[in-house]
Structure 1
Amino acid sequence: MNVELIPGGPFDSNIFLVSHGGTRVLIDAGTGLGKDRVLKRLEELLDGGGLDAIILTHEHFDHSGGASHLSEHFGAPVFASPECARALREADPDLTGCFMFGTNMDPMMDITEIGDELAIGDLSFEVHSTPGHSPGLISLITHEGRSLFCGDLVFCDGGVGRWDLPGGNLKQLRESVRKALEWDYLSLYPGHGRVETRNPRREVELALAILGDA
């Protein structure tokens, strides 16, 4: 399995292209404000091949805003949690956070809701509901390579997702981070910042220590 970080604009989340066998899946899509740069790099990496799917870790605009454009361009289906899908279908300015970027979102109707397992071609994922930063946040673990894509649940070097945005909840966030210590994974791919391939569990432990019992 191979993971490539796609460079986006200054407000974009990390955008990961995950490849295994003949399957290529994008995890998160950025804001869409720098879509030409993202599209150019994706086309270089795909080298004439297709994109099989786009998976959104959650509904916030910096992760989901570019999904419609990329889905239309590549003909790739979009997958998300039921809560994320609902917020995007309603183009909810509070739950998507698009108001913070001075823009609106168009309703995104064509989204496939996912449960606790997802198989796309040669790739398969465990799907964990991890609310707290947002109601629709999910964390994905690849069966191939045991890589954890956690969106804005935790970040490397002790960071955690904000819980003061609409739909955020500190108690839920703490419980979600605690659950992440029970899973089996070998590398960590957060929604922002660097990745960790040596000791990912330590990063989750640091995040939980920062949350404490507050």
Structure 2
Amino acid sequence: MSTIVIVVFWTLVPSKQAESNGQTEVALSIADRRIRLYVGVGLVLSSVMIILQVTCGISIQDQLSVSARKVAQLVGILLSVAGLIVVGVQLLVGRFLKWEPGRLLIIGLLSLCCAFSLFLASPQMYVIVFLLCGIGIGFTLSGYITAASLAVSEREQPAVAAYTAAVQGVGSFVGPLAGSLLYSLHVSIPYAVCAGPVAVFFVLAAAKATKGALQKAREKTV
């Protein structure tokens, strides 16, 4: 599966982007140190979102002995509520909060990590899980797109926009495949696998944000 993901990723994601005004092309690698963290966050975010959507209904039915009809209604409502929270968070970030992208990423990834860990430990707390997922997705989505855009020059931003869009497409392919495969192994494995990468990127984002804050503090003292 890893080989398929790599092939699809490099097929869908362009290696460079030409400027719209016809001037010199600006090469920007997907592995560029300025954006690779944010591209990775985008890929993980889109993948875990789909994995949750694909498996949560079956998981609730299997673990809590809920009827298929009730599960379908319940999951539909929960996904809709989570979607509204995502929209609300993004409006809040765009209009009122003037937070750094690193802070948005830290809050978003931490919320997602808590959501998957909670669903793993206590599936009966699924309402709180979806609330946390809505908060996490809203903050993470705003954080990684903004951070990736601010990390490069204006001429490189079209390439970054292409990368952030492409990883969502790759995640839409990876999520259903990984979710069904992992769930067939064990009911809890999909959420453990989701929590792991999210936790790793939370640590990386927190470390990067801390490093940036320390660097700014040094510059002010000079």
Same fold (TM over 0.5): no
Q: As a proportion of its length, which structure holds more strand?
A: 1
Q: As a proportion of its length, which structure holds more helix?
A: 2
Larger-Rg structure: 2
Give the alignment's TM-score, normalised by structure 1: 0.24
Give the alignment's TM-score, normalised by structure 2: 0.23
